[in-house]
Structure 1
Amino acid sequence: MPSIARVPSVPAPGDAAELRARARGALLGLAVGDALGAPAENLKPSEIRARWGRITGYVTDRPSGTDDTEYAIFSGLLLARHGSALTPAHAEAAWHAWIADRAEGQFRGAGFSERGTLENLRRGLAAPISAQHRHAWSDGLAMRAAPFGVFAAGRPAEAARLVAIDGSVSHDGEGIYGGQAVAAGVAAAMAGAPPITVVASALAVVPDDSWTARSLRRAVAVAHRGERAVRSAVVIGGYPWTDLAPEAVALAFGAYAAADGDFKEAVLTAVNMGRDADTTAAVAGALAGATQGESAIPEEWAAPIGPARGSCLPSMAGHHVLDVADLLTPEVEEGVALVPGTDLEPATDLVRETDPLRHNAWPPPDPTVFVLAPDQDEVRP
């Protein structure tokens, strides 16, 4: 694996408020991008223009996050519970307890990669075999990767390591690489890295010769020419599936680079490129939200984002992305360093109330202590 791009260190204890603001910006940004992009999903730019002109805000009366937001909450709660001690067995158990062994919502597990994973888990297959299905290359891991970057702020390699563990249940190959690129990029942005370093951090954790890396490089190389150039550089024309991780992740980073990290521009660029617009806008929103913080998100976009409705994952109903952001960036007492090995507060009431992995109240009599571990027009792919 290539060497990791140099990023600023995690903000010092005195900057804990800044770290929290970036975390909330990343996950609220994800939900906002998801809600803004959902109506444009699977559309071409020409179809978007025919319906709405250029999308500049919500185009539905009740904007809401989709499966992208609910799966991000799922991964955020899983990470809040296990931290850097996360294992594939933990992730697999969560898939069973929170999704596979329960009645599903109206989205029935959502995308093709999730459907394939659930079918395999219900047949008794375990990770990583559970990820052996036709859509292991989808952007289903990328859409839920931002929480890992929030948790591993300033540590792209750790973010990439953890998201791959989560992804081992549902994805393989390019699907894993897409998630790693997003997690590493958010981790760099969380530490205040400029957009060029955010992109470099994403590229550093995936193989240079991967489809994901090639698409990402093509996207950012033409980003200064705008969304049409970005789209032309990476979209596989005529291919029926829009949830290709190499394509969706590249479009998201291209939108982020074209906007030079500006939240509003990054998200709108992603939305108006169409394709898997809810996911590309969610990823662009997470990157830009981590870069600029919660205050950069327009209030009229943030206000409609409430607790998850559970349309896809009923077990996630009632959880809010901002609460998850707070879980992943615990309050730090004045004068106590947020450094590797520091004992942090157990989860807040959000997780304490009910832990779907247990049949009793959480935390147990011997509460888990969370610890931050050290770093360890058309083209062909």
Structure 2
Amino acid sequence: MASIGLRARARGALLGLAVGDALGAPAENMKPSEIRARWGRITGYVSDNPSGTDDTEYAIFSGLLLARHGSALTPSHVEAAWHEWIADRDEGPFRGAGFSERGTLENLRRGLAAPISAQHRHAWSDGLAMRAAPFGVFAAGRPAEAARLVAIDGSVSHDGEGIHGGRAVAAGVAAAMAGAPSDAVVAAALAVVPDDSWTARSLRRAVAVAHRGERAVRSAVVIGGYPWTDLAPEAVALAFGAYAAADGDFEQSVLTAVNMGRDADTTAAVAGALAGATQGVSAIPQAWATPIGPVRGRCLPAMAGYHVLDVADLLAPAPDATEPEPTDFVLAGDGTETPS
């Protein structure tokens, strides 16, 4: 996999996110039994006009923000972007946005600033995890840097486990971007979150049973009877569990996530980003890639017209012939990266 170029991995990660989002959207908030009753096993698009949801549009938002500021990103930059592209616009209710985004929006419109803007009832949601992949693309081969940057983005909208989930995804994608095998991708994610966090415990449980398939992963992670499906510790663990169960294979990673239900658009988006970075854009079936066009701005009108592939190219420019791409790495015991 080391022969896959950085641009191909970047495009795989972000197109993989959008494809997973579109595949999983019809199954969102459903149980596996409900999915089977309606479609059997989902093996492709089940809607006539598949498209991404808020997950894709917020990932584009974060990708553009990162392309603008890079490693110099600050909470003030993030807060200003929320005002410029979301809060200070009059385009309506931002349909499809999660509870964490709505809570953040209300706080910003009341004049609250980060980190107080993240003090709402859903700071633990997977809303940061769903937009975390661009940070891994930008910081390819540098999981700790990807985690640092995504936490800055999340400081406006999330706290606690919500931040942990974003850090895990960003670090995992960063490792995959450097050609790390699936077990090292998981290790990179675990290295940037506290060992005793809910996110880490759920992630470890999911990966430990991944070899037994999606039913075992779901049983190890999901809290039965809990009504909210956008819990970051649950969604992130399901996504990594699907990725581990498929050993990084793109199609199987995404379909495993989709067929587990719960917050299926987000879990499949994260699994798709991880597997897309691992295998590159050519691993995404053409029948899945073709319907993904520029986003429609149904949730974030300011993002209308942007395509995830354009964002990927901004974050991973074509390499200069004199500048080598990031080397493959092995994860040291302290979570730092060292050349392999």
Q: Provide TM-score, normalisation by structure 1.
A: 0.84
Quick one: distance in 1 between partners of 2:35 and 2:90? 35
| Displacement after TM superposition at 1:330 (Å) | 1.3
| Displacement after TM superposition at 1:104 (Å) | 3.7
1:203-232 deviations in whole A, cap 9, x for unaligned? Answer: 000000000000000000000000000000
Q: Say how many residue pairs are matched.
A: 330
Question: Does 1:316 pair with 2:303?
Answer: yes
User: 2:150 is matched with which residue?
Assistant: 163
Counterparts in 2 of 1:109 and 1:267: CA distance versus 1, 3 Å: closer
**Is the Cα contact below 8 Å between 1:105 and 1:313 reproduced in 2?**
no
Letter matched to residue 234 of structure 2:
E
Structure of greater Rg: 1
Counterparts in 2 of 1:311 and 1:116: CA distance versus 1, 3 Å: same
Question: Does 1:291 pair with 2:274?
Answer: no
User: 1:233 is matched with which residue?
Assistant: 220
User: 2:28 is matched with which residue?
Assistant: 41
**Is the Cα contact below 8 Å between 2:141 and 2:326 reproduced in 1?**
no
User: 1:137 is matched with which residue?
Assistant: 124
User: 2:333 is matched with which residue?
Assistant: none
| Displacement after TM superposition at 1:106 (Å) | 5.6
Following superposition of structure 1 onto structure 2, how do residues 198-209 of structure 1 map, counting pairs within 5 Å? 198-209=185-196
User: 2:268 is matched with which residue?
Assistant: 281
**Is the Cα contact below 8 Å between 2:180 and 2:278 reproduced in 1?**
yes
User: 2:49 is matched with which residue?
Assistant: 62
Question: Does 1:216 pair with 2:203?
Answer: yes
User: 2:236 is matched with which residue?
Assistant: 249
Partner SS, residue 76 of structure 1: helix
Following superposition of structure 1 onto structure 2, how do residues 301-312 of structure 1 map, counting pairs within 5 Å? 301-312=288-299
Quick one: distance in 2 between partners of 1:237 and 1:143? 23
| Displacement after TM superposition at 1:105 (Å) | 5.2
The two structures, once aligned, show a CA RMSD in angstroms of 1.7
Question: Does 1:52 pair with 2:39?
Answer: yes
| Displacement after TM superposition at 1:333 (Å) | 1.9
Quick one: distance in 2 between partners of 1:81 and 1:375? 26
Partner SS, residue 113 of structure 2: coil
Quick one: distance in 2 between partners of 1:195 and 1:336? 27
**Is the Cα contact below 8 Å between 1:152 and 1:158 reproduced in 2?**
yes
Unmatched runs of 5 consecutive residues or more in structure 2: 328-335
1:43-76 deviations in whole A, cap 9, x for unaligned? Answer: 0000000100000000000000000000000000
Determine what percentage of the aligned residue pairs are the same residue: 87
| Displacement after TM superposition at 1:165 (Å) | 0.1
**Is the Cα contact below 8 Å between 1:105 and 1:314 reproduced in 2?**
no
Runs of 4+ in 1 over 6 A off after TM superposition: none
Quick one: distance in 1 between partners of 2:118 and 2:149? 16
